[in-house]
């Protein structure tokens, strides 16, 4: 029988996950280390997807659940139906970002990811000072971790100069074709 629902259909296409297989046992939630911090836990998210309604999908994209998920994969490791929840989370994150439906809690997390990726785009490797500077600029957490910086430097763990790879152009092109490509937003 054909599945007529667009939401679960698209999900199946991009993640190979069939939401109908989830029988709501809750084992994922039982083992999720951050379930208590989320708007709703992973098994509830699967149920919202199962209903297939736009309203519930909106709730998911606007939740902090998808951003708090650490992709620790404990859920997939224990799920009796082997449902790839981490992959679903990655997909939902991209959807949430592309449709601008971020939960306020998600902003610092997204800022961090963006700063991380910016750093790689220009040097090819992670430049930690650049990452922190970018993050502080985006999140306005100017005084966070100020105490740690000197100790990191003294322990030899903080490189003041970035390591630049030779093929920075190649990296730039990768970014241009993927995350910075205006055509690939909203799949």
Residue 70 binds other proteins (CB under 8 A): yes
| Residue pair 84/76 in contact by the 8 Å Cβ criterion | yes
Pick the binder of other proteins from 74, 101, 130, 172 (CB under 8 A).
Answer: 74
Stretch that binds other proteins, among 3-11, 42-50, 51-59 (CB under 8 A): 42-50
Residue 6 binds other proteins (CB under 8 A): no
Secondary structure letter of residue 158 according to DSSP: -
Q: Give min distance, CB of 153 to other proteins, in A.
A: 11
In the bound state with other proteins, the residue whose beta carbon lies nearer, of 3 and 184, is 184
Residue 145 CB partners (closer than 8 Å, separation 6+): 132
In whole angstroms, give the CA distance from residue 17 to residue 127: 36
How many beta carbons lie within 10 A of that of residue 167, not counting itself?
10
| Residue pair 89/71 in contact by the 8 Å Cβ criterion | yes
In the bound state with other proteins, the residue whose beta carbon lies nearer, of 5 and 94, is 94
Task: Looking at residues 144 to 183 of the shown chain, list those that interact with other proteins (rule: CB under 8 A).
Answer: 144-145, 148, 151-152, 155-159, 163, 165-167, 170-171, 173-175, 177-179
In whole angstroms, give the CA distance from residue 167 to residue 50: 45
Residue 27 binds other proteins (CB under 8 A): yes
Residue 103 binds other proteins (CB under 8 A): no
Q: Give min distance, CB of 52 to other proteins, in A.
A: 19
Q: Give min distance, CB of 118 to other proteins, in A.
A: 10
Residue 18 binds other proteins (CB under 8 A): no
In whole angstroms, give the CA distance from residue 15 to residue 7: 12
Stretch that binds other proteins, among 4-12, 53-61, 87-95 (CB under 8 A): 87-95
In whole angstroms, give the CA distance from residue 181 to residue 15: 21
Stretch that binds other proteins, among 4-12, 49-57, 91-99 (CB under 8 A): 91-99
In total, the chain counts a number of residues equal to 187
In whole angstroms, give the CA distance from residue 93 to residue 61: 7
């Amino acid at each position: 029988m054909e599945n007529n629902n667009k939401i679960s259909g698209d999900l199946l296409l991009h993640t190979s996950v069939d939401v109908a297989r989830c029988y709501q046992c809750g084992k994922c939630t039982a083992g999720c280390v951050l379930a208590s911090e989320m708007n709703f836990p992973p098994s509830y998210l699967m149920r919202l997807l199962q209903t297939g309604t736009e309203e519930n999908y909106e709730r998911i994209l606007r939740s902090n659940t998808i951003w708090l998920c650490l992709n620790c994969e404990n859920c997939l490791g224990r799920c009796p139906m082997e449902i790839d929840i981490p992959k679903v989370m990655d997909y939902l994150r991209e959807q949430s970002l592309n449709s601008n439906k971020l939960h306020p809690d998600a902003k610092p997390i997204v800022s961090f990811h963006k700063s991380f990726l910016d750093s790689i785009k220009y040097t090819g490797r992670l430049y930690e000072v650049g990452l922190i500077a970018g993050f502080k600029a985006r999140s306005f957490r100017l005084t966070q971790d100020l105490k740690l910086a000197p100790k990191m430097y003294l322990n030899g763990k903080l490189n003041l100069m970035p390591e630049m790879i030779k093929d920075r152009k190649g990296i730039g092109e990768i970014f241009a074709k993927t995350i910075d490509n205006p055509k690939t937003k909203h799949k």
